[in-house]
Amino acid sequence: MNYQEIIDSQRDFFNTNATKDVSFRINELKRLKSILKKNEAALYKAIDEDFRKSEFETYVTELSIIYHEIDLALVKVKSWSKKKKASTGLTNLPGKSYIIPEPYGTVLVIGAWNYPYQLSLCPAIAAIAAGCTVILKPSEVPSRTSEIMAQLINQNFDAKFFKVIEGGVQETTDLLAIEFDKIFFTGSIPVGKIIYQAAAKHLTPVTLELGGKSPAIITKDVNIPMTAKRLIWAKFLNAGQTCIAPDYVLVESSIHDQLLSAMKEQIEKSDYNVDNHNYTQIINEKNFDRLQDMIDPNKVFIGGNGNRDQRVIPPTVLKDVEFTDKVMQDEIFGPILPVLTFETIDEAIEKVKKLSKPLSCYVFTKSKSTKNKVLNEISFGGGAINDAMMHFTEQSLPFGGVGNSGIGNYHGKYGFETFSHYKSVLQKPFWIEPNFKYSPYSTKKLNFLKRFIGL
């Protein structure tokens, strides 16, 4: 079957209304969980082959997040999909108003490579919970994880409901030429713009989960060792290949040296090494070269030289960095942490605001007023106070960007909403119909209406 035929078959299936039945969705989600559970060993093996990601990290940052999403949807999908009562104004009494969540229909999910399982499957789970049929196009960059997802899903699900299509730019371009009811994309800003334009041709709604430079702002009153510990974990997990990793640090100048030594100590303690599986490889040579090129050898505080054959760049901290440096021109998306300084919080905020709205923002401070000032003045997708990245694990929080870092959000109930249209309905009985709105019009009627509506 060509792509058009697959999508047509999904549309036909959607039109049978089978996915409107919540128990159908529950069964399919249970099936997905059981397939993943049964094949965990193969999933661990594939991702290890792609970029030496350990079982520990794969469980913590991929599978556990997927299982959580499924479990929450299993418990909540009935209430999420229920018709919701709304209030009815005097004008329409004795009518009733309500909102019906309805699935968008046939959706396309396009994944990124850095967390290949959860960035592909969590949106798919949300789409299934909402009652959509799904075409999933995982990133082709980690080829083994793309292959295993295609194998497990295509062997266990009917293509007219859930189908993985593997491929890169050409295949995605071909898919984008076809009309979908919703497109969910995770990836870079430039490709996000391509997706948005392609979707516009069909007026297809999109969710774009993009990237950017996420700052960590650190004031002088913090617990320095704890700040360093949390920052270093967040930055070097997955070798920095995380969209919400702190991209750069802005530290109050009076604690700059102390913070750097605490970070060094924490890096040494963490024993980052690909061979002992405490660290991951850079995904490919292209990214290795891109990252290595961002490192100014004169500014290396720790780390620096990578090994191209092994595709490993050690945790690297750069000091005395300026906003004009190469490393500050683009999202880093790798294990390089530039440290910059500030004198006043206003100066720090001003510098962050000169760049595009970030996907995440982290503030380490004991000062309530500083915290409030940052929250009030900087626009960002999501973030944390005195921590980094852990907001992602809270299913009660919507996850997504703003401005250049994205459009829309997901996770938990927000994922369900992302794949649903909220249909509003007013329902009236036949037994009464006031005559005010009908012609013939008169001043008397108008005056009565004005009093009645009260405006």
Residues that are catalytic:
209, 243
CA neighbor of 158 nearest in space, from 27, 62, 41, 63: 27
Residues 195-214 that bind ligand NAD (CB under 6 A): 209-211
Contact of 134 with 128, CB cutoff 8 Å: yes
Is 217 a binder of ligand NAD (CB under 6 A)? Answer: no
Residue number with CB closer to ligand NAD (292 or 367) = 292
Q: How near is the Cβ of 430 to ligand NAD at its closest, in Å? A: 50
In degrees and rounded to multiples of 5, residue 424 shows phi and psi of -100, 135
Contact of 303 with 296, CB cutoff 8 Å: no
Q: How near is the Cβ of 65 to ligand NAD at its closest, in Å? A: 12
Residue number with CB closer to ligand NAD (183 or 224) = 183
Contact of 217 with 380, CB cutoff 8 Å: no
Q: Please report the DSSP string for 65-80 in residue order.
A: HHHHHHHHHHHHHHHH
Q: How near is the Cβ of 112 to ligand NAD at its closest, in Å? A: 4
Is 187 a binder of ligand NAD (CB under 6 A)? Answer: yes
Is 358 a binder of ligand NAD (CB under 6 A)? Answer: no
DSSP-derived secondary structure letter, 360: E
Residue number with CB closer to ligand NAD (196 or 323) = 196
Chosen residue from 162, 180, 301, 333 binding ligand NAD by CB under 6 A? 333
Query: Using H for helix, E for strand and C for coil, what is the string for 411-452?
Result: CHHHHHHHCEEEEEEEECCCCCCCCCCCCCCCHHHHHHHHHH
Residue number with CB closer to ligand NAD (140 or 179) = 140
Chosen residue from 1, 169, 200, 453 binding ligand NAD by CB under 6 A? 169
What would the x/- binding string for ligand NAD be over residues 239 to 268, using CB under 6 A?
A: ----x-------------------------
Is 35 a binder of ligand NAD (CB under 6 A)? Answer: no
43-to-16, 48, 117, 447 alpha-carbon distances in Å:
33, 9, 9, 71
Is 365 a binder of ligand NAD (CB under 6 A)? Answer: no
For residue 110, what are its two tokens? 């396009």
Q: How near is the Cβ of 255 to ligand NAD at its closest, in Å? A: 29
Enumerate residues 6+ apart whose C-beta is below 8 A from 55.
Answer: 44, 48, 277
The whole-angstrom separation of Cα 455 and Cα 449 is 9
Using left for φ > 0, alpha for ψ between -120 and 50, and beta otherwise, residue 454 falls in left
Contact of 211 with 188, CB cutoff 8 Å: yes
Is 406 a binder of ligand NAD (CB under 6 A)? Answer: yes
Cα-based torsion angle of the residue sequence 42, 44, 47, 52 in order, rounded to the nearest 10 degrees: -130
Using left for φ > 0, alpha for ψ between -120 and 50, and beta otherwise, residue 329 falls in alpha
Give the CB-nearest residue to ligand NAD.
211
Residue number with CB closer to ligand NAD (168 or 434) = 168
Q: How near is the Cβ of 286 to ligand NAD at its closest, in Å? A: 10
Q: State whether residue 164 is helix, strand or coil.
A: strand
Interacting span for ligand NAD (CB under 6 A) from 48-56, 68-76, 182-190, 269-277: 182-190
- Indicate the residue type of 98: Y
Residue number with CB closer to ligand NAD (192 or 306) = 192
Specify which residues 342 forms β-bridges with: 252
Chosen residue from 9, 58, 186, 281 binding ligand NAD by CB under 6 A? 186
Is 168 a binder of ligand NAD (CB under 6 A)? Answer: yes
Residues 132-161 that bind ligand NAD (CB under 6 A): 137, 139-141
Residue number with CB closer to ligand NAD (165 or 262) = 165
Is 367 a binder of ligand NAD (CB under 6 A)? Answer: no
Residues 75-134 that bind ligand NAD (CB under 6 A): 110-114, 119
Is 173 a binder of ligand NAD (CB under 6 A)? Answer: yes
Residue number with CB closer to ligand NAD (249 or 260) = 249
- For the chain, how many residues are written? 455
Q: How near is the Cβ of 227 to ligand NAD at its closest, in Å? A: 23
Q: How near is the Cβ of 330 to ligand NAD at its closest, in Å? A: 9
Give the footprint of ligand NAD on this chain (CB under 6 A). Answer: 110-114, 119, 137, 139-141, 168-169, 172-173, 186-188, 191, 194, 209-211, 243, 331, 333, 359, 401, 406
